[in-house]
Amino acid sequence: MSSYTAQSREPGRAPLPMTDRQDRWWVQPVLIVATLVLFGIYAGFRAFENNFYETRQLIESQPGLQAAPLYLSPFYSPPLHHLIASWPAALSPALFLVIFPLSFRGTCYYCRKAYYRAFFWDPPACAVAEIRDRARMKYSGETTLPFVVNNFHRYALYLILVYVVFHWYHLYEAFHYVDAAGSVKLGYFGLGTLIFGLDAVLLSLYVFSCHSWRHLIGGGANNFSRSPIRLKLWQIVTTLNKRHGLYFWLSLATVGLADIYVRLVASGIIPDLAVRL
Which DSSP string do the residues of 216-229 spell out, in sequence order? HHHTT-S-GGG-HH
pLDDT, tens only, 91-149: 999 999 988 999 999 999 999 889 888 888 877 877 777 766 655 656 666 777 777 88
CA–CA gap between residue 70 and residue 176 (Å, rounded): 6
C-alpha distance from residue 122 to each of 28, 204, 245, 267 (Å): 14, 30, 19, 43
The continuous run of DSSP H or E covering 242 comes out as: none
CA–CA gap between residue 140 and residue 192 (Å, rounded): 46
What's the confidence (pLDDT) of residue 132? 64
What's the confidence (pLDDT) of residue 238? 93
Write down the mean pLDDT value for the chain. Answer: 87
Residue 57 domain-assigned (yes or no): yes
The strand pairing partners of 185, in sequence order, are 177
Residue 6 domain-assigned (yes or no): no
Residue 11 domain-assigned (yes or no): no
pTM summary value: 0.87
Residue 43: Cβ within 10 Å count = 18
Residue 9 domain-assigned (yes or no): no
- Cβ–Cβ under 8 Å, residues 20 and 2: yes
Residue 10 domain-assigned (yes or no): no
C-alpha distance from residue 34 to each of 37, 52, 81, 116, 118 (Å): 5, 26, 32, 14, 10
Residue 202 domain-assigned (yes or no): yes
What's the confidence (pLDDT) of residue 271? 93
Helix or strand or coil: residue 44?
Answer: helix
User: At residue 8, does pLDDT exceed 70?
Assistant: no
Task: Please give the residue range of the domain that contains residue 203.
Answer: 18-276
What's the confidence (pLDDT) of residue 20? 66
DSSP category for residue 91: S
How many domains would you assign to the chain? 1
User: Which of 11-15, 63-67, 231-235, 241-245 shows the highest mean pLDDT?
Assistant: 241-245
